[in-house]
Amino acid sequence: MLIYACTIAALLCFLLHIIHRRQRCRYPLLIDYPILGMFPPILLNLTWIHDFVTELLKQHEGKTADFMGPWFTKMDFIVTSNPINVRHITIKKFHNYVKGPEFREIFHAFGGAMVANDSETWKHARSLLSPLVKQTSFESFYQKTTRKKLHSALLPLLDQVQKQGMVVDLQEVFNRFTFDNICSTILGFDPGSLSIDFPKIATEIAFNEAEECMFYRHIVPRCVWKLQEWLQIGPEKKMSEACKTFDQFLYSCIESKRKELKENDPLLDDQAHVDNDMPLLTTLIREEKGKKEYDNKFIRDSVYGFLEGGRSTIASALTWFFWLVAKNPLVEAKILEEIKDNFGDEKKLVYLHADMYETMRLYPPVPFERKQAIEADVLPSGHHVHANAMILFSLYAMGRFEDVWGEDCLEFKPERWISDRGGIVYVPSYKFFSFNAGPRTCLGKDMSLVQLKMVAATILRNYRIHPVEVHVPIPSYSIILLMKDGFKVRVTKREP
Ligand code: HEM
């Protein structure tokens, strides 16, 4: 009975949402309705959900609000964008705030390795994987792969777009670029999705569909999506198919890498030249030498976490960066000035670094995160947290508070990141939270920044990007902040 009530309520709200989708923040107040709780205003504002949550938190003391979901659906949350709360939860009381079983259910595609796990399982996976991706040889392999893909696929594609005067979806280009790139560095296999005919690659589509479904599971009651999963309808059907597709892909990559290394591993041959350019999968399998073999499920879950972590996050940052730069010709001029003298040495691109931080302050690729409390607690903002309470962080809202970032917080101003001495201003991670904070800080942060600067500098040096549409892009319904309708642009050659 409850399932029917919730399904009908969800459908009604969804219909209303469709009607009002183009109207920004039409219902800024969170009204707590009988039975449905505060669910209707959320669904009605789904199109601009991140702006809606920002406005809402601005109206609440301590940038923190209680959100009541429909009755009996376990959708009550404490939503916060308060940096001191973030520090408390992610650093000071790290052990009291976990991902929790609900998180694992929603993000079950991540499986049992690092990203979706807690305590010993997470600790074990992180202590095994972190040194592997932090070693210089892996970082330099990651950079080499990016550079190669840029010159062999991305620039030639833009060249064709420019010569033919085509309109291209730059977000789709970046999605494909990062997919090929991350598969090459993690699995040692380039699926070749980035080419002018935009081939349909089932695994790439599966990753996108899984991300959308993980978002969907946040906005409907658990009983609704569970029912859909059981009946295999709607987004849940797509989710099951997506899981099958990327599982097949990942397990076959693991099996063939095991076979390849068994038959011919240069490490076992003293005379052979050992290549330092090793994908993570190879390193992981080699790690097993002399120990018990990791089971394929653990390897699958580990590599899945990296593929997810390093794919659409980078595509999102690049897309918003190019959109912001196109709107700010003075910023573009400054970047060009900087790359004139320092092209090829990403460490020297301080202004471009500031641009990337500023992009991710306003448009964090992961716009929200969640945690669950183990024991009752009181947050620094004074809000009470009961045992098992869910906490949602709005990273998007965090970059938009005047008292934190100044009166010009809504402006794109990379200069705010440049210190008087010409370096990057230090901002603690619980304030600039785009890469998470504390022991679970993103493992790919440094690698990402090098990659982002490399791609941005190379494109800007060679081409001018002209957006086709002038309106503010609508964010997609996904756990990653992408543009719902893509980012359509024309490209012209930049004369030296
Ligand atoms: C602009 C690019 C990126 C952004 C904004 C970003 C952001 C984040 C955030 C917010 C988290 C925390 C997620 C959570 O706990 O729910 C995270 C975790 C993680 N990221 Fe990134 N990421 C980026 C790129 C990368 C890359 C390139 C890699 C790897 C190649 C990577 C690997 C990971 C991993 C493995 C974790 C899990 C860490 C743990 O749970 O201990 N990320 N990232």
Give the Å distance between the CA of 443 and the centre of ligand 1. 6
Span 261-265, average pLDDT: 78
Angle formed by the axes of helices 296-309 and 280-287, to 10°?
150
- Please report which confidence band the pLDDT of residue 357 belongs to, taking 50, 70 and 90 as the band edges: very high
Q: Letter for the amino acid at 178?
A: T
* Among 182, 302, 436, 449, residue to substitute to test ligand 1 (most atoms within 8 Å of Cβ): 436
Query: If you write DSSP's letter for every residue of 47-116 in order, what string do you get?
Result: GGHHHHHHHHHHTSGGGEEEE--STTTT--EEEE--HHHHHIIIIITGGGEE-HHHHHHHTGGGTTSSTT
Span 313-334, average pLDDT: 97
DSSP H or E run through 334 = helix 329-342
- In CATH, 76-493 is 1.10.760.10: no
Span 152-158, average pLDDT: 97
Q: What does the pLDDT read at residue 139? A: 93
Angle formed by the axes of helices 312-327 and 329-342, to 10°?
110
Binding site membership of 393 for ligand 1 (Cβ less than 6 Å): no
- Please report which confidence band the pLDDT of residue 42 belongs to, taking 50, 70 and 90 as the band edges: confident
Give the Å distance between the CA of 228 and the centre of ligand 1. 29
- Please report which confidence band the pLDDT of residue 73 belongs to, taking 50, 70 and 90 as the band edges: confident
* Among candidate residues 396, 397, 391, 394, the one with its CA nearest the CA of residue 77: 391
Binding site membership of 115 for ligand 1 (Cβ less than 6 Å): yes
What is the per-residue burial (b if ≥16 Cβ within 10 Å, else e) of 461-474? eebbbebeeeeebe
Binding site membership of 366 for ligand 1 (Cβ less than 6 Å): yes
Q: What does the pLDDT read at residue 277? A: 81
Span 331-340, average pLDDT: 97
Binding site membership of 313 for ligand 1 (Cβ less than 6 Å): yes
**Token pair listed for 303:** 């590599």
Residue 364 is given by DSSP the state: -
CB neighbour list of residue 409: distance below 8 Å, 6 or more residues apart: 399, 400, 401, 402
How far apart are the C-alpha atoms of 225 and 476, rounded to whole Å?
Answer: 19
Q: Between residues 487 and 268, which one has the greater pLDDT?
A: 487
The protein residue whose alpha carbon is closest to atom 27 in ligand 1 is 310
Span 78-103, average pLDDT: 96
Q: What does the pLDDT read at residue 71? A: 85
pLDDT at residue 482 above 70? yes
Q: What are the boundaries of each domain within the chain?
A: 76-493
Strand pairing report for 77-80 and 390-394: parallel
Q: What is the pLDDT of residues 193-249, one digit of tens each?
A: 999 999 999 999 999 999 999 989 988 888 899 999 999 999 999 999 999 999 999
Give the Å distance between the CA of 164 and the centre of ligand 1. 37
The CA-based dihedral angle spanning residues 343, 399, 46, 317, taken in that order and rounded to the nearest 10 degrees: 10
Q: What does the pLDDT read at residue 33? A: 80
For the chain, what is the radius of gyration of the CA atoms? 23
Is the CB of residue 356 less than 8 Å from the CB of residue 332? Answer: no
pLDDT at residue 25 above 70? no
pLDDT at residue 436 above 90? yes
Q: What does the pLDDT read at residue 23? A: 45
Give the Å distance between the CA of 115 and the centre of ligand 1. 8
Please give the mean pLDDT across all residues of the chain: 90
Span 96-113, average pLDDT: 90
**Token pair listed for 276:** 């330092």
pLDDT at residue 398 above 70? yes
Q: Is 167 left (phi over 0), alpha (psi -120 to 50) or beta?
A: beta
Q: What is the pLDDT of residues 220-234, one digit of tens each?
A: 888 899 999 999 999
Helix (H, G, I), strand (E, B) or coil at 161: helix
pLDDT at residue 18 above 60? no
**Token pair listed for 329:** 């010709």
Binding site membership of 310 for ligand 1 (Cβ less than 6 Å): yes
Binding site membership of 478 for ligand 1 (Cβ less than 6 Å): no
Q: What does the pLDDT read at residue 1? A: 42
- Please report which confidence band the pLDDT of residue 45 belongs to, taking 50, 70 and 90 as the band edges: confident
Q: What does the pLDDT read at residue 38? A: 82
- The percent of residues above 90 in pLDDT, for the chain, comes to 73
